[in-house]
Structures are given as C-alpha cells and as structure tokens.
Amino acid sequence: MLSSNSVPRRERLIFALDVADAESARQLVARLGDAVQFYKIGLELFMTGGYFELLDWLKQQHKKVFVDLKFFDIPATVQAAVRQLAQRGADFCTVHGNQAIMEAAAEIKGDLKVLAVTVLTSLDRGDLDDLGFHCDVEQLVLSRARRALQAGCDGVVSSGMETAKLRAFIDQRLLVVTPGIRPVDNRPDDDQKRAVTAEQAFRNGADYIVVGRPIRKAPDPRAAAEEIQKTIAALFHN
C-alpha cells in the first residue's frame, strides 16, 4: 500500500535533529551531508536559543525544515504563529488542537504544509484511558485525520501502525508523516510504544518517516542514514 503522493525519494527521510544546542545541530548536519535532505527541529532546540537562526541556516544549506512545536493555543494566536513561520520558509509545521485551531492554521499557511498530530507514538491504550479517551487508538486516529482534512490541513502525523487504515478510509492525498521508527522491535525502556520499521511504515502508506535516535546514536550516523535511504530507494523509484 505504498503512497501515490509525489515526493522526491531522498526527502522521504526526515531526521529529528534532537540535540542540545544549535551548534551541535550544525555539526551533525555537516556530518550527515547529502544523506539527509529534510530535518525536524523541535522543542529541545527551541528552548536552547538560536532556533530561528538554525532554521534560516538550514534553508541556506538547501535543506527542507519541519518545525515540530505542536501549536496549541487560541485560534488567533496559532494563526499568527503560523503566519510568521510561513514567512521564514519552513516547509512543515505541526498543530495539536481542535477544529478551530486547525482551521485557523490552514487558512493562513500559504506554502507551509500544516500537519495535525493524531495520537502521539509514545501513547498506548492505557495512556488514552488515563487521558479520558474511551475509544481505541485506531478510531481516535481516523477521527482526528478526517477532521484535519476537513479543516484544510495538508496531512497528519501518525504512527505506522494506523497508516494502513488512514490510506483505506481517508483521502489518498492526505500526507502521512510517521515518527517512532525503529530498526528492530522496541526495547522495553523505549518511550516509543507504537513503533514500526522504516519499511513497514512505507508499506503501510506513509509519505515520510521521522527518524532520530537510530541515526543519531549510530556509530556512523551518515552510514545509518544511507542505509535507510537504500530501503527507501528499493521501495520508490522517483
């Protein structure tokens, strides 16, 4: 069930640039070279200072940038934030709110692609019970994806475990970005509870995968990224 959305093959791998500071991020980007074309920058870097300077630098390096800050506030505030971000040249951003929040973000996004978070890959059935969601994970993911599409969002962030159902029951044009990628079965201490391999994610219909620790903690991060690129090349021919 490979996605039919047109995406440059080398951009299907998004590396989660979760490091301690912007200078460490630049060094890692230089080390990865052309093995990675798309980077996700999130909350850890946001809190260290130099976040937007790093975004600008990545764009100067001709990289694509996924700003993963999961905007959640009153709709007018989220809309203003998305407007500012679109002007900086970011490629993707995330929102994690209700219908009005998603609609406000989508209305002003321009060329920036807005992704709605469905259910975090660190959550399982027990966590949803704790949060008061009395439905199974799959139902919640499908419901949120439908609402995101209705709101004008470009896609969703979803575990690879639910991607096949998204492809079966939601518009094929919806972009699906899958985090929580692991090369093998999870260790018991891993905080990603609903994880899949890169190949499983794409065979289930993902357009992009987000990979962090399996690359960052590898003895040779560039070689690890290239191995994932080989997997992608075996599946997609564009």
**End-to-end CA, the chain:** 16
Catalytic residue among 40, 59, 63, 70: 70
63 is annotated as an active-site residue? no
Q: Which residue has the tokens 């790093």?
A: 54
C-alpha to C-alpha distance for 194 and 181, rounded to whole angstroms: 9
Catalytic positions are 70
